[in-house]
Amino acid sequence: MNKAAPRSEQSIAWLFMAPALLGLAVFILMPFLLAIALSFTNVRMGSPLPVEWVGWREYARLVSDAGFGRALFNNLLFAAVVVPVQTLAALGLALWLNRPLRGRVVFRTLFFMPVVFPLSLIAVVWILIYSPDANGLMNHGLDILTLGHWQPRDFLHDPHWALPAIMLTSMWQGAGLQMVVLLAALQAIPGELYEAAAIDGAKSWQRFRHVTLPQLRNALVFVVIVTTILAFRVFDQVRIMTQGGPENHSATVVFAAVRAAFDRSQVARGMAMSVVFFVIVLAVTVAQRKLLKQTRS
Amino acid sequence: MNRNRVWTIANYVLLSVAALLFIAPVLFMVAGSFKPEARVLSDMDSWRALLPGGAGLQNYRDVFARIPFGRYLWNSALINGLIVGLGLFVNALAGYALARLQWRGRDVMLAVVLALLIIPFEAIAVPLFYQLSALGWRNDYAVQVFPFVANPLAIYLFYSFFLGLPRELEEAARVDGAGILRTFFVIVIPNAKPVFATVAIVSFLLYWGMYLWPLLMTVDDAVRPLPLAIATFYTLPPVQWGDILAFGVMMVLPVLVIFIAFQPWFVRGVTTTGLKG
């Protein structure tokens, strides 16, 4: 890196950053700092009590809150399953569609279709798919796949199945977006690299290993990091499909925080949950970035 | 030759099966929007779930009768158009500065952007609501637009793509005497269409379904976006699944149009826009 950059480049860089910085500072950083401050108070929505500082009280309560512990565990499990599976599926689809293929645009549009639908609608459709009825689409399908050995169950109200059901819906909904990002990166790989590799007699696996993967690295790191963060932030599906139930078996941290702040008016507690959540995801993201560094060309 | 053809056909069959898995719920929704109320749920257990028919356009007429759909659509289009348009400009500039320019504080700023990416909007909605209410700022278009223009995800997406863009063209332009501004607007932007298309689509999708914020900040139908209208169908009994599905189809159409409109930009990657040789 060239430390002796001209002064004009310094000022132009700040000029380029200025509008974004202003927006981030006013609409994300300030409310977040306010959230931290509120987490140390007793503020409740619509409460007649005067607002005062109570120190670490809400955090102390979280430590002994089994429901919050459960939500944290669910979040970790959700991310551990969804991130690798969804990324591999998206990579597979992107590679599949990046070959000479008639109707590629049609298939790409079809795979992308679930992304286009707002989660509020998607969730309603999946509630119907997971219907406990033996004739429900999921129960019926599993019955056929297992040659009649499947016992129909109520996925969204079953402690063991509620979270996996939400995972499946999330992966189905999100894979298309990652695929489009990866496909855009695949399309940007110069054709000469493949031609050169072909002249050198590289087999298709070698071309993938030595041309595609290195060229895809930055986009792949991007996809993994963003998917991880979005996986931790999972909220809408939980809110609409299970309300965190049964007994918090499908609750997530953001869901718990919103439930506290909005539904139960416990603003301070909701804010404390948000702060803990932020610290944990920050740690995970920092670790990930240490492992997967993006390279400057 | 023959083996090749078998392989091609197998490939298409597999692709079609995968595609069907991805769009079956979507088909269910579209089909349901053309069905009379009683059949929306009762057809669930068979192929008829995916076949439309029976109600014609009745559900769609109901939607227009029950809510001022055109008004909501215009509001949503205006709000999203502004967020996406302003956002492309603001976030591309920031992403470029982080990826390519040499300046003090760059690495710290990149870390800050990534850290802000972690914060879910739901977590800061309450304090932001307090903050803006204290200024008396609510119930207009601007309060639904400005909080979302600068976006860490979009900045990071631009940053990642600019990192991967070959440097040669920019260096050539700089050698020819073009300044940073000129290089960015004349050389970089035309070669970065795929990432602009990606960011436009992603942010459009992100905000088209936004519910919590407009619910907190607006009271008038005159400025409220589409997602708030769906509540009308749940709260005014009886719940008509056919109407909800018809509303859903109409709500999603604009996003689909945007995606299809940006498609050519996606396909024409950097390879075919002048970086050869």
State pLDDT tens for residues A109-134.
Answer: 888 888 888 777 788 788 878 888 77
Residue A3 lies in a domain: no
> Which domain range does residue B260 map to?
64-238+253-272
pLDDT of B268 reads: 47
Residue B271 confidence (pLDDT) above 50: no
ipTM confidence score: 0.85
Shared domain for B41 and B116, answered yes or no, is: no
> What's the CATH code of the domain at B268?
1.10.3720.10
Find chain B residues with C-beta within 8 A of A120's C-beta.
209, 211, 227, 230
- A7 contact B CB<8A: no
Radius of gyration of chain B measured on its C-alpha atoms: 23
**Other C-beta atoms lying within 10 Å of the C-beta of residue A104:** 16
B165-193 tens-digit pLDDT = 888 888 888 888 888 888 999 888 888 88
- CB within 8 Å: B259 and A296: no
CA distance B93 to B87: 10
Residue A42 lies in a domain: no
The three-state secondary structure class of A41 is strand
pLDDT of A297 reads: 52
Percent of chain A at pLDDT above 90? 37
pTM: 0.85
- A91 contact B CB<8A: no
pLDDT of A296 reads: 64
Shared domain for B50 and B73, answered yes or no, is: no
Shared domain for B211 and B227, answered yes or no, is: yes
pLDDT of A8 reads: 83
Residue B247 lies in a domain: no
CA distance A214 to A212: 6
The values of phi and psi at residue A239, to 5°, are -60, -45
pLDDT of A87 reads: 95
**Half-sphere exposure for B14 (CA within 13 Å, toward CB):** 10
Shared domain for B126 and B14, answered yes or no, is: no
CA distance A104 to A106: 5
The mean-pLDDT minimum among B75-84, B217-226, B253-262 falls in B253-262
Residue A1 lies in a domain: no
Total domains in the fold of chain A: 1
Find chain B residues with C-beta within 8 A of A110's C-beta.
19, 22-23
Last residue of a domain, one of B15, B36, B56: B56
Residue B277 lies in a domain: no
CA distance B87 to B90: 5
> What's the CATH code of the domain at A142?
1.10.3720.10
Asked if residue A246 has a cis previous peptide bond (ω within 30° of 0), the answer is yes
Last residue of a domain, one of B56, B77, B95: B56
Residue A29 lies in a domain: no
CA distance B153 to B155: 5
- CB within 8 Å: B103 and A13: yes
Residue A101 lies in a domain: yes
Total domains in the fold of chain B: 2
Residue B270 confidence (pLDDT) above 50: no
B41-65 tens-digit pLDDT = 777 666 667 777 777 888 899 899 8
Residue A43 lies in a domain: no
Instruction: Compute the mean pLDDT over every residue in chain A, rounded to the nearest whole number.
Output: 87
CB-nearest to B103 from A9, A35, A192 is A9
CA distance B263 to B257: 10
Higher pLDDT, A51 or B158: B158
pLDDT of A263 reads: 85
Shared domain for B18 and B130, answered yes or no, is: no
Cα of B269 to nearest chain A Cα, Å: 5
- CB within 8 Å: A111 and B19: yes
CB-nearest to B127 from A19, A31, A121 is A31
The mean-pLDDT minimum among A153-167, B26-40, B45-59, B77-91 falls in B45-59
pLDDT of A2 reads: 45
pLDDT of B44 reads: 67
Residue B15 lies in a domain: yes
Residue A6 lies in a domain: no
Residue A10 lies in a domain: no
Nearest CA in chain B to A296: B163
Shared domain for B23 and B160, answered yes or no, is: no
Find chain A residues with C-beta within 8 A of B266's C-beta.
180, 183-184, 187
Cα of B151 to nearest chain A Cα, Å: 7
Cα of B270 to nearest chain A Cα, Å: 5
Residue B248 lies in a domain: no
CA distance B240 to A227: 35
pLDDT of B237 reads: 67
- What token pair was written down for B213? 């914020």
Shared domain for B25 and B141, answered yes or no, is: no
- What token pair was written down for A269? 């507690």
Shared domain for B34 and B72, answered yes or no, is: no
> Which domain range does residue A200 map to?
59-291
Closest listed residue to residue A59, CA positions, set A212, A271, A250: A271
Shared domain for B187 and B88, answered yes or no, is: yes
